[in-house]
Amino acid sequence: RWVFKGRDFLNLADYSADEIYYLLETAVVLKRRWMIGEKIEILSGKTLAMLFEKPSLRTRVSFEMAIHQLGGKAMYIGPQEVGLGKREAIKDVAMVLDRMVDAIMIRTFSHDNLIQMAKYSVIPIINGLSDLHHPCQILGDMLTILEKKGTLKGQKISYFGDGNNVCHSWLVAAGVLGLNLTICSPNNYQPQTEIWDWAQEKGSHSGATIVYEADPDIAAQDADVIYTDVWASMGKENEMEERIRHFQKLQVNQNTLDKAQPDAIVLHCMPAHRNLEITDEVMDGSHSVVIDEAENRLHAQKALLALIMS
For the annotated catalytic residues, the residue numbers are 107, 134, 137, 229, 269, 297
Which of ligand CP, ligand NVA, none is residue 229 near (CB under 5 to 8 Å by kind)?
ligand NVA
- Which lies closer to ligand NVA via its Cβ, residue 120 or residue 231? 231
Determine if 58 is a binding residue for ligand CP (CB under 6 A): yes
Best CA proximity match to 128, nearest among 25, 182, 49: 49
* Residues near 64 by beta carbon (within 8 Å), at least 6 away in sequence: 50, 74, 76
Considering beta carbons, is residue 84 or 208 the nearer one to ligand CP? 84
Asked if 127 interacts with ligand NVA (CB under 6 A), we say: no
Q: Are 25 and 18 in contact (CB under 8 A)?
A: no
Q: Which residues contact 255 (CB under 8 A, 6 or more apart)?
A: 217, 220
CB of 296 to ligand CP, least distance (A): 11
List binders of ligand CP among 105-134 (CB under 6 A): 129
Site residues for ligand NVA, 132-191, by CB under 6 A, read: 134, 164-166
**Interface pattern 139-158 for ligand CP (x via CB under 6 A):** --------------------
256 binds ligand CP (CB under 6 A): no
Q: For residue 152, how many other CB atoms are within 10 A of its CB?
A: 22
Residues 264-293 that bind ligand CP (CB under 6 A): 269-271
Q: Which stretch binds ligand NVA (CB under 6 A): 11-19, 28-36, 62-70, 228-236?
A: 228-236
Using CB distances below 5 to 8 A depending on partner kind, what does residue 230 bind out of ligand CP, ligand NVA, none?
ligand NVA
> Is 238 among the annotated ligand-binding positions?
no
Encoded amino acid at 99, one letter:
R
Which of ligand NVA, ligand CP, none is residue 164 near (CB under 5 to 8 Å by kind)? ligand NVA
Q: Which stretch binds ligand CP (CB under 6 A): 38-46, 56-64, 193-201, 279-287?
A: 56-64
Residue 107 marked in a binding site: yes
Size of the site for ligand NVA (CB under 6 A): 10
Segment 256-275, which members bind ligand NVA (CB under 6 A)? 269
The answer to whether residues 233 and 109 touch, using CB atoms and an 8 Å cutoff, is no
Tell whether residue 137 is among the known ligand binding residues.
Answer: yes
Contact 148, 122 (CB under 8 A): no
Q: Say what the alpha-carbon torsion angle 256, 258, 259, 265 is, to the nearest 10 degrees.
A: 70
The residues of the shown chain that bind ligand NVA, judged by CB under 6 A, are: 129, 134, 164-166, 229-230, 233-234, 269
